Structure 1
Amino acid sequence: MLQPAYPLKTARLILRPFAQSDLNALHSFQAHPDVTRYFFGEPRTRAATAAALRDKIARSTLTEPGEYLALAVELIDTGELIGDLTLRWVSNEHASGEIGVAIHPRHHGKGYAAEAVGELLRLGFDELGLHRIYGRCDSRQVASASLMEALGMQREAHLRENELVKGEWTDELVYAMLSSEWNRR
């Protein structure tokens, strides 16, 4: 079980549960074509973002495998919501998890994603006790692949044309980190 002691703070960020008041900020990047370019779905409508937000609000703890933790990424200096993190508890038997991140494009290139995902990895390894955490991305998502490599995750797979994304067969990259690697970093 994972019940984080909120709010979680990094040097520049606050990671916290989502709240209903996050709708406008969340929609500002979930509706952005650059954010959803390599995702299965299209940019979200306001109604779709509202539905997603209702689900995210209910995801502030992990009690069993199959669930995911949803965290809002907020700038300490301004209180602006700039991103969305997920940590999915994939398996108890195999002690594995999966991470996901989306940051508003106007905040790309500032190191916020690395800072936020580093804290997500800490939660997964140090608090949930996972053995292996992985992340996946479309092979055209150079920034996502670079982020995972910069965090010390190892590329484990390059799956060729394994997913149909918006009518196009795409390659997928899989990166992972083991708890032993996390402890040595």
Structure 2
Amino acid sequence: MAVFPHYPLLTARLRLRPFTRGDVDAVYAYRGREDVARYLFDPPLSRNECAMAIQQRINQVALEAEGDRLILAVDVGATGQLAGEVSLIWRSEEARQGEMGWIFHPDFQGKGFASEAAAALLNIAFDQADLHRVFARCDAANAASWRLMERLGMRREAHFREHGLFKGAWDEEFYYAILRREWMAQRHSILPQ
């Protein structure tokens, strides 16, 4: 399987595209925030760290081998503002499994943008990449994230209690997943028209 999507990917209200060097300030506007970093592995990033992260992401636009990442900027179509990012990681070639994630600026949360962008990514995962299963995970306290997974039709498969130290405290983590056949049966009811 090799997946080279044609960019930009357009949804009803969004444009998903590769990152560019010009995105540094917009990414720093959310990745530099403590409230955004709270549930991420990284602490808030400096502007220079954002620039380095974007430099890596510029080339993460296809899935050619297990371990590859597809990380896309999410622009609001009406304004062109960068609202956040979505990612799809090819976790297992043999089992045809992927992992997805998202990070959005708080100003763009609660508007359905993350659901719309994540649904577009699930279409890539199941249509173009022909994955069998996609999972996502989040801190159990991150209700916005696990509710998004549920809106996508994903089911909670695990709740790991105090399974590791995360930023100096015991971590509680939820794992959600969806199978290709489940997504195909429901995707038209989830995607905005």
Per the TM superposition, whether the score is higher than 0.5 is yes
Partner of 1:123: 124
Q: Which runs of 5+ in 1 are unaligned?
A: none
Partner of 2:161: 160
Superposed CA RMSD in Å reads 0.7
Q: Which runs of 5+ in 2 are unaligned?
A: 187-193
- The answer as to 2:39 corresponding to 1:38 is yes
Partner of 1:72: 73
The structural deviation recorded for 1:165 is 1.4
For 2:164 and 2:114, how far apart are their aligned partners in 1? 25
Partner of 1:145: 146
The structural deviation recorded for 1:34 is 1.3
SS at 1:100 equivalent: strand
For 1:157 and 1:93, how far apart are their aligned partners in 2? 22
Please list the CA deviations of residues 77-116 of structure 1 after superposition, one character each: whole Å capped at 9, or x if unmatched.
Answer: 1111111111000011000000010010011100000000
For 2:80 and 2:142, how far apart are their aligned partners in 1? 28
For 1:89 and 1:121, how far apart are their aligned partners in 2? 12
SS at 2:181 equivalent: helix
SS at 2:164 equivalent: strand
For 1:88 and 1:42, how far apart are their aligned partners in 2? 21
For 2:181 and 2:63, how far apart are their aligned partners in 1? 22
Where do 4+ consecutive residues of structure 1 move more than 4 Å? none
User: Identity across aligned pairs (percent)?
Assistant: 45
Partner of 2:109: 108
For 1:40 and 1:6, how far apart are their aligned partners in 2? 28
Please list the CA deviations of residues 116-159 of structure 1 after superposition, one character each: whole Å capped at 9, or x if unmatched.
Answer: 00000000001100000000000000010000001100000001
TM-score (norm 1): 0.98
> 2:113 is matched by which residue type in structure 1?
Y
Number of residues of Structure 1 aligned to a counterpart in Structure 2:
185
